[in-house]
Structure 1
């Protein structure tokens, strides 16, 4: 079968996610496996065109991976008819302008989330892409994690009966940057640069809830900045103006209640950096990044509350590991393959700019809920 190559403009590959997950573990990994296989058996490889503001960083990355095409001129990259796809992994504050340029140039656009800093801008992106007739997609990588794929298998199989609640715990301690280097870039903690854990994580939680449990109908959130001052990459102190922790309660269609804590100021005392517990009338499950454990109602023990006696039961021993039953590839790479098939042969791809706008909407309403101290309904966009 034939092999075709298409150009992919990749803006923001000098950043952590753009480089590791999208360039190295997705685009280059796809090429190493021989490309994306289409429905007719033919294959498509991807020719990355690296774009960014720092020419030296781009040159180093390009040299390390044998990539001939790199430039600081986005307009020139978009003018090349051989480049069919534009991908954006820049800081959020720079995304809208660049994506609109790509849409105007007739490129199919794939972008990291959040697609914008406000729901108004996010909706405008979706409308612009629809008006131009270009394919569009947003990264929703958590759906392709092994743990959540196993959890979805339980949902689809009716394991839970009627789902009652979801409890999510996400986060870890991000060092302040003084006595130990911070493991996240400083812009994450400046609201003026598009930072904040609500804008970063609520779009994730939105697509997880929407795809696994149902549409979000209301939000009550408390966002806060626990660490008011941090040290940036140059060793200079700066005021942390963005929220670094958020505690949210979400109501979903069908009466499901979800409680999700998100924090960059918490020390990990759980098996994985993110865990979701789902409780239903017929069973419960706890899913993380890779693993998932379940407990059916027939195997549920009967704990008795007695604070005067030590607990001898090992409650975790009563849970059963959900088997892999499949080979799990990198979630970012899987979604890249889906998007390429969507562009080239109109294969299904529900993770479009409209779904990205709904995620931004939840973040915006979460921040509003926190500011006003009240529950806010989430209208359908």
Structure 2
């Protein structure tokens, strides 16, 4: 494979992307920093089609990234291959408003091959190629220039190794007839809505004990306010206010701005500065959360203790089935889906559609509705049909 020197020139990048656009797939990886910013700071992009590989410097003076962004987010003829690519996709969405498509994620493919719930890149390389990676450059500050040869070699290896692994994984998936299993998951990951950061939904990421509508309404207003403040200043949201402080203020709102000086996690300056004033305005404008927006378990969920026991049985069934077909259980069904099934829901559950229904959902439904039961056969836990299910 031909390894190019670091690309810092617009012409070189355009030529590379023109060649890659003729390939059936391109391996993509990024190096970025986000410790001090709201948006990830893109520092390096690595690309390979198995014949050539290059690292692109997005921080190079006057470099035009449009050919690369067009290849990744507008070219439907080239498959974009990532490993655990969620954050990479987020970066390209922030830059273009679009996501890479069509795409393939080797971490998810490994789940379909029974190689762990979330196998890391270095373990994947060891498993498929028998290569132990040097992790010495793992904590590099990728924003600093110049980057030395060891750093660039480390970064390029992420796509060169994956270019060797990807075709092997594809062949194995085809051999097992599991390629179609991944289509739905890949489409879900590449859905732009997953990366559209709606401030009004930011509260859902904050842990809070209370389920009172007025408290949750304040939490929603405060989380949205914090999100907009952090975005405007381009700093991490935690630099504005930690989650714990946000939840505390939502549960115990100060009556006056001067009371902010008493809030743990805030400096005394908040009692009379502008950001403190904006915080108080957010509290004043908060409205109780509507019933339709209340968290799932507040609206019903499973049927008390009995529902929780049924959900536990479904999780046990999932362990048995995932072991039998050698697929990571997380790819088949998620805990909240099984809890909803145990609670009586039947609509909108992925486990009751497509291959998931064939491999697990059908038996899960039979278990919930009394047509299947657990039994020990030859010392192993298995599922058996009940007499009512046979009739």
Higher relative contact order (CA 8 A, sep 6+): 1
TM class by shorter chain equals under 0.3
Whose radius of gyration is greater, 1 or 2?
A: 2
Name the one with the larger helix percent.
2
Normalised to the residue count of structure 2, the TM-score between the two structures is 0.21
Bigger strand share? 1
